[in-house]
Amino acid sequence: MKSKDFYKTTAWKWFSKYILLSYSNNGAVQCATSGKWYQCNDKRICAGHLVKVFNGNHTNFNTAFDFRNVMPQSDMENRYKGGNELVMMQVVDRVHGVGTTQDLIMKSKHPFKLDKYTLDEIAKEYRLKFNELTKTKGNPWKK
């Protein structure tokens, strides 16, 4: 699976919305690495991976949908600053506990096949979680 195809999957859509809404406060979310605030539905904020899914010739699906590995991140930080990896490592360990970064790196070394069935199951899981979360946090994407 290519990068552009992965980020167009329904699984990624629901997972990334769940990430942003989980970290939100009154519909706004803070970039984990720059500290800037954005509305959840702003095109300039996305869900950024610490351990990258696509890294050169290596593909890592094992941590792609691991909640601990993904945090709100501005498009500028995520795409144009390479994820600001050193800051992201510090934030991940502060939020999820010391050693989480090392756990994620070790987890990424194990092969994991991401097939259509698995993507469909992940999409269902995070759509339900997202819808449940909207009951308390609202839905910034609803028009």
- Reported as a single tens digit per residue, the pLDDT across 47-75 is 999 999 887 667 788 999 999 999 999 99
Provide the mean pLDDT of the chain: 92
- In the chain, the largest separation of any two C-alpha atoms, in whole Å, equals 41
What is the C-alpha to C-alpha distance for residues 50 and 4, in angstroms, rounded to an integer?
18
Query: What is the separation of C-alpha 15 from the centre of its chain, rounded to a whole number of angstroms?
Result: 7
Closest among 115, 7, 91 to 54, alpha carbons compared: 7
Residues sharing a CB contact under 8 Å with residue 30, sequence separation 6 or more, in sequence order? 23, 36, 37, 38, 72
Residues of the chain with pLDDT under 70: 56-57, 143
The residue ranges of every structural domain in the chain are 3-117
Residues sharing a CB contact under 8 Å with residue 48, sequence separation 6 or more, in sequence order? 32, 33, 70, 71, 72, 73, 77, 78, 83, 88
Beta-carbon-side half-sphere exposure of residue 19 (alpha carbons within 13 Å): 24
